[in-house]
Structure 1
């Protein structure tokens, strides 16, 4: 198995040697990736000292983080307006944190601002290639990922991107974020394990809704759950109340035949639960099922959603020495250094840089080869737990199951911390 954090006694001494300095009395456990077996010999252009690297490598332009010999690029929308710009800056900050924590990393991160215009992503990807980047981390938006991928894939340089749109994934374009498909697989498999056999769903008429519906049908069939009806509504800034009302009325006709109701979109969850209660479909008779979008106080405070289940990345993890890691720990440290709460995606940037640095330390010339990045045993990140990349570029992430109760939520099923806990 390969992991950022690992409890095997075979690697424990090595891991201790890589634990870094203490911050405010709490050890920041940043370790290299560790392999339990020798990696296979890999070949192909664009990795390590691949033959398609430019003969003359240009000096990097823009901000450079770190001073190692291996160069990777971070594509982030730093100058974009609004939330995208804020997220872009957070990605840069998280990358800087990672290199501070992993101070021995033989890594140099060249920061490329892709701004607001998606065409800038391809231009900055080209600059990254010319400047000798062997791996690209980012960008954030799906269209920017696709643009950058068109430049990087022919050059054989892999990318670890942050979009949740699995349509942007491809061989060599790996998505590290949490996907709707992961959410659906986890919640349906858990519901089935708890005896749920028949459900209704309320799904938005959006690209996201289309992805969720396809995943629902696939996983319901896989886990033996009957989908009695899928009701749709128009979604925008505010979900269509008439569509939700109609959905509630249709589901009420089946209330004696269902034991669960799946509402993936957080914006519709509270209204749907209240409308269903008005039709006699209450949380006393059915269990409401959600997605990672539900991981917010406005959902957990709704009384009609008491007892509901939803998947979410683990916010608190333990490393091999029993110290606390995970997003909450990362967020506290980020806020202390940068003066603001990080967006959820920031920890993924942190883990991506640590992953790159650790692979440089462990895998030599094979560090960014496909078989290294897609090791089926996966990785354990500091911020968000276990994950692994598939060869098609999609990923499987470790998710806990949360249960809502009296205005808050708690874990009822832990997030798996190894490949053995994930579906095949």
Structure 2
């Protein structure tokens, strides 16, 4: 039976700090220790890539979802991890199994290639890559075993870069590829990795790039929508409304919402969208929904309340300032939060959200914060800064990748599709052959100025064996 909990390792921060301090004088070899074998993290290699076109240097719409409201807001590109320009003679050698440090010779080395956009033109994405790289290092040093070689490669945030990085990873004998982030980069990496049947554990939220040996270790908005709709439907709600942005993210959420409501034998009775995130573009759609709701209420009263209300719950897929602008419009136009349940996605998980009175009692689905907090605390203690939005995914990817890489190479896909799933700092996740993540999400309610778990995230896969 496969290991049901391959992520079950405690963070060993003392070990991480010790290993980080004992970097060899030859900086291109990555962190090593002077006391016998230790986990090895190779610094990012700079593969040869073509010069990106102007279109490629633009940040795709997907970053709105993937790196939404990252905790680091500096506009400067941070110092990138040191790159290997040349491999010093005797430091690494290639044997028939792949890239191997001398002290790991003869060992059953698990080679994990980490593909991230270290030198992308987007400062926000470059910061994300830096933080994810550091989290991956933490995972390597936190493992009980010292058999993981992490090979970091720069995709530059382009398709050509991802393609070249994947070729370099395969040439180095990578057992599993971790990354990239952006959907078009994942697609390019998958095309190369598939030729050698190398599993890819990527970080995109675009479910269209999953499958063919590519597994998305991410939090797609569709999963959050499904979770919150299932929970609200279980309370007896059958009539739903939608009010959200006409954006790539908004359209994905809306499509998933309509599908899941129907699967729960409900109905989306009203739907309004707007373009932009300013309150001026939100007013007319909110007022139109309020008018529809008032007409439904009036009809119900004329029929002695035997006619159903127009809607009982409304999805507001916004976050930050946009959410705090949108939510108050509904009670302003006489949609009472005491009568209509306000619901949302993980974009609600912002400390400022609880300060908006209109969102009191509101419900949303998101990752289990209790499982994430120890990692976030450890990252802060180690690096003296807050982990980025996707850093925890990189940590879990290393743990999952080591599990997938362990054993018969012909069965790596089978191990990735372990029916019991994987439990990490981001909670439970499992995969089928389609590569799309089945996430264990919690349901939160805003009560008395804080987020309260009203339905915990599952810790085991239902039906798993």
User: TM-score if structure 1 supplies the norm length?
Assistant: 0.80
Partners of 1:226 and 1:120 in 2: CA distance: 45
Determine if contact 1:366/1:372 at 8 Å carries over to the other structure: no
The number of aligned residues is 364
What's the counterpart of residue 214 of structure 1?
A: 255
Matches within 5 A, 1:102-141: 102-141=143-182
Partners of 1:398 and 1:94 in 2: CA distance: 21
What's the counterpart of residue 370 of structure 1?
A: 413
* 5+ long unaligned stretches in structure 2: 16-93, 298-308
1:305-358 per-position Cα deviation (integer Å, ceiling 9, x unaligned): 000000010011xxxxxxxxx211101101111111001311111111112223
Counterpart check, 1:260 vs 2:260: no
What's the counterpart of residue 462 of structure 2?
A: 420
Equivalent of 1:245, from 283, 287, 291?
283
Find the structure with the greater CA-based Rg: 2
Matches within 5 A, 1:142-153: 142-153=183-194
Counterpart check, 1:292 vs 2:346: yes
Partners of 1:125 and 1:206 in 2: CA distance: 31
Aligned-partner SS, 1:396: strand
CA separation of 1:98 and 1:21: change in aligned 2, threshold 3 A:
closer
Determine if contact 2:229/2:260 at 8 Å carries over to the other structure: yes
Partners of 1:344 and 1:126 in 2: CA distance: 28
RMSD: 2.6
Relative contact order, higher structure (CA 8 A, sep 6+) = 1
Partners of 2:144 and 2:155 in 1: CA distance: 27
Counterpart check, 1:387 vs 2:429: yes
Partners of 1:83 and 1:68 in 2: CA distance: 37
Query: 1:253 Cα deviation (Å)?
Result: 2.2
Partners of 2:411 and 2:326 in 1: CA distance: 46
1:28-53 per-position Cα deviation (integer Å, ceiling 9, x unaligned): xxxxxxxxxxxxxxxxxxxxxxxxxx
Query: 1:120 Cα deviation (Å)?
Result: 0.7
CA separation of 1:367 and 1:155: change in aligned 2, threshold 3 A:
closer
User: TM-score if structure 2 supplies the norm length?
Assistant: 0.73
Equivalent of 1:404, from 410, 430, 446?
446
Query: 1:407 Cα deviation (Å)?
Result: 2.4
CA separation of 1:341 and 1:98: change in aligned 2, threshold 3 A:
same
CA separation of 1:204 and 1:283: change in aligned 2, threshold 3 A:
same
Query: 1:265 Cα deviation (Å)?
Result: 2.1
Determine if contact 2:405/2:412 at 8 Å carries over to the other structure: no
Determine if contact 1:68/1:105 at 8 Å carries over to the other structure: no
